[in-house]
Amino acid sequence: MLLLLGAQQAVAQSARLVLRWKDVAGTQGYELQIAKDPAFVEVVLQTRVPTPAYRWEQLPSVTHWWRVRSFDAEGRPSEWSQPRTVALESTVPVQRLPADDALLPCAQPVEVSFEASALIREFQVELSQSKDFTPARQLSSKAPSVSFGVLPAGTWYWRARALDVRGRTGESTGVRRFTIRPAPPKVKPAADVVLGAPSVTLAWGEVPCAASWVVEASTDTKDKVSLVAKGSSLAFKPNAAGEYRWRVAAVDEGGRPGEWSQESVFRVRLATPTPRGESSTPLKLDLAWTPVVGASQYRVEIAKERDFKQVVSSGVVTGSQFRATDVSPGRVFWRVVARDDKGHASAPSEPRPVEVVAPDPLDAVAWLTPEGDVVVKPGEPVEVAWRPVDKAVFYELEVDGVVAQVPGSPKVLTDLAEGAHAVRLRAKGNSSRVSTWTEPREVYVGVPQVARAEVTQVGDALHIVLRDGKGRPVMDVTPRLMVEKGAIEAPVAGAGFFSARWSPPADGEDVLRIEERDFVTELDLARPLPLMVSLAARAGGLFNFSSVTSPTLTVGLTWRLPVLSRRLGLELRAGVYAASRTVEFGLERVEAQAWVVPLSVLVGWHQPIGAYVLHGGVGPAFQVAAMRVGAARETRVVGDLELAVGVSRRLGPGSLEVEVSGLFGAYDGELATLATGGLGLKVGYSFELGGR
């Protein structure tokens, strides 16, 4: 490894530079390289020397690099030493700024600068717009910088010399140039416009030294145009739709352009078509709109809804009219979009509604079979038949939403999966004539799910009808029947119902549970209560002539109502008795006689208590009285209120009853004054018609 010791400079009439390095033992010589760059591409000196020193007679004006390597006795070189610089002071100024070919903004002071040097006491600069410096402007400065002030736009050349410390003028530097040109303008955004508008205003800010302006615009199709403007704005007329990019540069008085501005963008779009009208005749829809400048074609869309998510018809035309022949009758919406040759599109026009006129419909299809909803077994074919429709070309048969064309009636459906299937039908003719859909028929394949049960008591048997959700009887099943207290036999299938014999419990009330697959229901059962009839004798003040009691024979009919656990009953009572009396008025004796028919309607409560039944009732009572007093006769109806309470006990085929009752009422007539109220005791016997 060679150790470089350094460079020693001598300032004399003949400049010299001594380069030294450390001696390497056993070496036979050294090789030295001096270059203008650290990579030693531009080598200015390469030589061999026997000693570890070299005097370079040339005094460089710029920085150089040097390195050295040794050779052994066999002539083999060592590696190069690390490069070192040779930066020598000189009386030739070293130019710093501005760099050669620099671009400087207009209206700003221009200053040149040099590297400081102890050998230079004054810098002398020449400035000219001519390469040969005729004429030239000269300035001097003791500092390593010189200001020219504000210079006109254009290309300038400059060079410099120096006076050294002894007052001698050195050699000139190389010639450098710089260009002063206007700064880039700041553009103002341009608004988007519609093709066919008069123009687009392109504007920008003023910059110093600008005598005119050049504007460059290009489209998204790469077409480019250059325009000249005298002021800071330009009326630009686009000739096509698309995206326009533009920039501007100031031009000085010499015709030299400055830097370009930042690029700005505006868009030119096709105008939105304006609908002119629409008309509809059967099977035809005619649409029209105003032509759009620059448009080469138009796309028309027709949809069921205003949002155009479901487009039912569309087309592309070159003119401003469109006819649709494939739109179903009814209300639709339409809009149109303009396009040019380059694919630019306008915004769609506002949706417009229109009613498509329907042709005269065909006659409705009439079902023959099935006559209604049907249930079939799995694998069983189903025949669908209907009456032919005049002018029908074919028919559309829809099964579960899937439509198939059939030539005519009948059509047999096979391989239907288990479950419910909806079937409907319509006729179709020429010119899109169509009938309305028939009412759908349901074909249920398999056994429908039971939805409800209907139970009817017929004597000691129950008739049970199971129905599905559509009310159809379900027979191809075996329901399970259970009761809580009594007994019931297995059901037997009949004509549309199941029959089962029920043995009710002693109290005649039970709960029936019906199970069939997932269907479960419970129903209350009650044995029909037969009519009760009672015969009794009653004594008491039913019809009094001065508290004379009258025995009464009564007959009662009782209906026990199937409510409130069958405790409530309605009883109708009727009776008959005769009453007479002789009254003396002084010397005259008056005979009075009456036949009375008492009628009453009681609502009563029957409460079993062990072997007894406690009952009571209340209701209106009426007594029809046919009276004779002396020779006078009169028939009257007297209204009363009857209250009764009693007890009965089973005895023999019926029940023995004892009851206390009371009536409340009175009558004041021309022939007699009657007190129809009073208490009575009734003893009787009741039994059920038909037995228990």
| Domain edges within the chain | 4-86, 95-181, 187-269, 275-353, 367-439, 452-526, 532-688
**520 compared with 587, residue with greater pLDDT:** 520
pLDDT at res. 347:
92
Per-residue pLDDT tens for 256-307? 888 899 999 999 999 999 999 888 887 788 999 999 998 999 999 999 999 9
Tally of residues, the chain: 692
pLDDT band at 395 (very low <50, low <70, confident <90, very high): very high
Class level of CATH domain 452-526 = mainly beta
Residue 366 DSSP one-character state: -
What CA–CA distances, in Å, run from 446 to 413, 474, 481?
A: 15, 10, 23
pLDDT at res. 9:
42
One of 2.60.40.10, 3.40.50.300, 3.10.105.10, 3.10.20.30 is the CATH number of 4-86, namely: 2.60.40.10
Between CA 80 and CA 66 the distance in angstroms is 10
Instruction: Enter the CATH code of domain 275-353.
Output: 2.60.40.10
In this structure, are residues 500 and 487 in contact, taking their beta carbons and an 8 Å threshold? no
pLDDT at res. 361:
84
Burial of 390 (0-12, 13-18, 19+ CB in 10 A): exposed
Residue 192 DSSP one-character state: P
Residue 691 DSSP one-character state: -
The average pLDDT across 397-411 equals 91
Q: Give, in degrees to the nearest 5, the angle at Cα 10 between 6 and 16.
A: 85
**502 compared with 11, residue with greater pLDDT:** 502
Residue 262 DSSP one-character state: -
In this structure, are residues 566 and 577 in contact, taking their beta carbons and an 8 Å threshold? no
Between CA 253 and CA 251 the distance in angstroms is 7
Biggest alpha carbon distance in the chain?
201
CA-nearest of 604, 613, 618, 540 to 575 is 540
Report residue 430: phi and psi, to 5°.
-70, 160
**305 compared with 565, residue with greater pLDDT:** 305
For residue 451, the number of C-alpha atoms closer than 13 Å in the C-beta half-sphere is 8
pLDDT band at 121 (very low <50, low <70, confident <90, very high): confident
Say whether 65 sits in a helix, a strand or coil. Answer: strand
**Where is mean pLDDT largest: 52-66, 87-101, 264-278, 539-553?**
264-278
Beta bridge partners of 486: none
- Look at residue 147 and tell me whether its pLDDT is greater than 50: yes
Same fold, 95-181 and 187-269: yes
Per-residue pLDDT tens for 448-468? 888 999 988 887 788 999 998
In this structure, are residues 292 and 302 in contact, taking their beta carbons and an 8 Å threshold? no
Say whether 296 sits in a helix, a strand or coil. Answer: coil
**266 compared with 61, residue with greater pLDDT:** 266
Between CA 301 and CA 606 the distance in angstroms is 82
109 CB-near residues (< 8 Å, 6+ apart): 147, 148, 149, 150
- Look at residue 579 and tell me whether its pLDDT is greater than 80: no
Share above pLDDT 70 across residues of the chain, in percent, rounded to a whole number: 90
Q: Which amino acid would we find at residue 200?
A: V
**Structural domain 95-181, CATH architecture:** Sandwich (2.60)
Beta bridge partners of 502: 488
The encoded tokens of residue 71 equal 């050779």
Per-residue pLDDT tens for 342-370? 889 999 999 999 988 877 788 899 999 88
Q: Which amino acid would we find at residue 386?
A: W
- Look at residue 15 and tell me whether its pLDDT is greater than 80: no
One of 2.60.40, 3.40.50, 1.10.12, 1.10.150 is the CATH number of 367-439, namely: 2.60.40
Is it true that domain 187-269 has CATH number 2.60.40.10? yes
Neighbours of 38 (CB within 10 A): 13
pLDDT band at 676 (very low <50, low <70, confident <90, very high): low
Burial of 667 (0-12, 13-18, 19+ CB in 10 A): middle
- Look at residue 10 and tell me whether its pLDDT is greater than 70: no
Burial of 275 (0-12, 13-18, 19+ CB in 10 A): middle
pLDDT at res. 543:
39
- Look at residue 546 and tell me whether its pLDDT is greater than 50: no
Between CA 434 and CA 362 the distance in angstroms is 5
- Look at residue 542 and tell me whether its pLDDT is greater than 50: no
Per-residue pLDDT tens for 37-50? 888 999 999 999 98
pLDDT at res. 586:
62
Enter the pTM of the model.
Answer: 0.42
Q: Which amino acid would we find at residue 237?
A: K
Class level of CATH domain 532-688 = mainly beta
Between CA 422 and CA 428 the distance in angstroms is 20
Per-residue pLDDT tens for 148-207? 888 888 888 989 888 877 778 877 888 889 988 888 999 999 888 988 888 899 999 998
Q: Give, in degrees to the nearest 5, the angle at Cα 58 between 55 and 63.
A: 100
- Look at residue 506 and tell me whether its pLDDT is greater than 90: no
Beta bridge partners of 238: none
